[in-house]
Amino acid sequence: METPANGIPDVVDTPEDFSSTVASLAAATGPIAIDAERASGIRYGQRAFLVQLRRDGAGTFLLDSETLGDLSGLNPALGSDEWVIHSVTQDLPCLQDRGMRPAALFDTELAARLLGWEKFGLAAVAERTLGVRLAKEHSAADWSTRPLPKAWLNYAALDVEVLLPIRDILHQQLLDADRWEFAQQEFDHLLDFQPKHFAEPWRRTHGLSKLKSRRDIARVRELWLARDAMAGEADLAPSKVLRDRDLVALAQSGVKSSDDIMTKWRRLSRAEAARLFRAYRKASRLTVDELPSRQERGRTQSTPFSHTDLKDRVAALKSAMAELAESLSIPHDVLLQPTLVKSLAAQTHVDVADYLAEAGARPWQIELSAPVLTKTLAGLPRT
C-alpha cells in the first residue's frame, strides 16, 4: 500500500480550515481513526505535532496541531463514537494535551495482544489483517519540521486509512475467541489512562544505579534538573543537551570549573557549561542531611518477609502467572500487571480477589488470575 485511496489531503493549519474540518467530521458518523506524530528524542516533551483523523463519510484530515494548539473543538464533532487508536498509551496523552477527550476507545495494538499475536506493531497487524504492507521509515522523523515533506504526509495519511478496517477484523476475531468482553473492559479502563508520574524523575537517569556515593547521586539530581530546564527552554530533547551517560560521568568527574566541563564535553557552549557547573557546585556544597537517599522515596514496601523470602515469593507468583499466560495465549503483562503480582507477594492473610480489585485490576483479570495466585500463595511458607 503506497498511497492513500483519495490522495494526500492538505494540512489543516488555519482556524478557518479547522472549523471546516470540525463541520465535516460532525456531519459523518461512526468510529474515528486517530493517530498522532511526535518528535521523540528531538524536541522537548511528547507533544503532538501532527494529528491524523479519518471517518467514513468525511475522509482523512491532517491537522498541524502545533500551529492550531487547542483541538478541543473536535470533541463535540466526534461525540460518543469510538476512537480507534493503535497503542492508546502512546498517543492518548499527547492528544489529551491538545484538549481531545474520547468517549469510547478501541486499541488495535491491545486487541492484537489479547489475541496472542507475537507481532503487534501497526505494520505487522495491517499485513496480517488486510494483507497490505505499510512502510514505517518515517516513524522516528522530526515531525516538528515545517513544511512537512510530501512523503511524510503520505505516510501519516496511510496510518489512519488502515485503522478502521483493521478494527472491524480484530473485533470479529475477539468475538470468535470469546475475548471481546476482556477487550471492552480494557478499553474502558484506558479512558482514564495517565502516564506514570514519578516523584523524582531524575532517578530514571540511565546509569544512576551504578553510583554508590550519595554525593554523586546528588550531583546527578542537580545536573538533571539543570539539563531539563535548559532542554525545555531550547525545546530540545534532554539527550540533545547532554546524554544520560555523560551526566553520570560528569557527576563523578571531579571538575573544578566550567572550563573543565567544556574540555571534556566540547559540544557544550560556554553558557551551558557554566550552568551545569553551577548545578555541580550546588550539589557539592550540600550538607550530609541534604543529600538524597540511595533509594527512591516510597519505593520500599512494608513486609514481614526477609529479602530472600520475598524474592522467592515473587518468583513463585511470577512463574504461576507465566504458566497461566502461556496456557491462555495472553501476554503475562496483559493478563495482569507485573507490579500487582510483585506487590501481592509482600502481603499476608489477604483475599487475592479483593486485593487485585482494590489495586485496579479488571474483572476479567481477577477471574482468571485470582484462583491461580491464591493457590500459589497457599503453598508458600507463612511468617
125-178 pLDDT, tens digit per residue, is 999 999 999 987 788 899 999 999 999 999 999 999 999 999 999 999 999 999
Query: How far apart (Å, rounded) are the C-alpha atoms in residues 341 and 112?
Result: 23
pTM of the model: 0.93
Residues 6+ away with beta carbon under 8 Å from 148: 11, 50
Domain annotation for the chain: domains and CATH numbers = 11-190 (3.30.420.10), 201-290 (1.10.150), 307-378 (1.10.150.80)
Average the pLDDT over 195-208 and give the result.
94
Residue 295: pLDDT band (50, 70, 90) is: confident
pLDDT of residue 20: 98
What is the CA 148 to chain-centroid distance, rounded?
25
Give pLDDT, residue 296: 81
pLDDT at 299 over 70: no
**pLDDT band at residue 4 using 50, 70 and 90 as cut-offs:** very high
**Which one, of 105, 167, 183, 155, lies nearest residue 130 by Cα?**
167
144-177 burial, b at 16+ Cβ within 10 Å, e below that, comes to beeebeeebbbbbbbbbbbbbebbeebbebbeee
359: buried, middle or exposed (CB in 10 Å: 19+, 13-18, 0-12)?
middle
Question: For residues 139 and 122, what is the distance between their CA atoms, to the nearest angstrom?
Answer: 11
Instruction: Map residue 134 onto helix, strand or coil.
Output: coil
Q: How many CA atoms lie within 13 A of 263 on its CB side?
A: 7
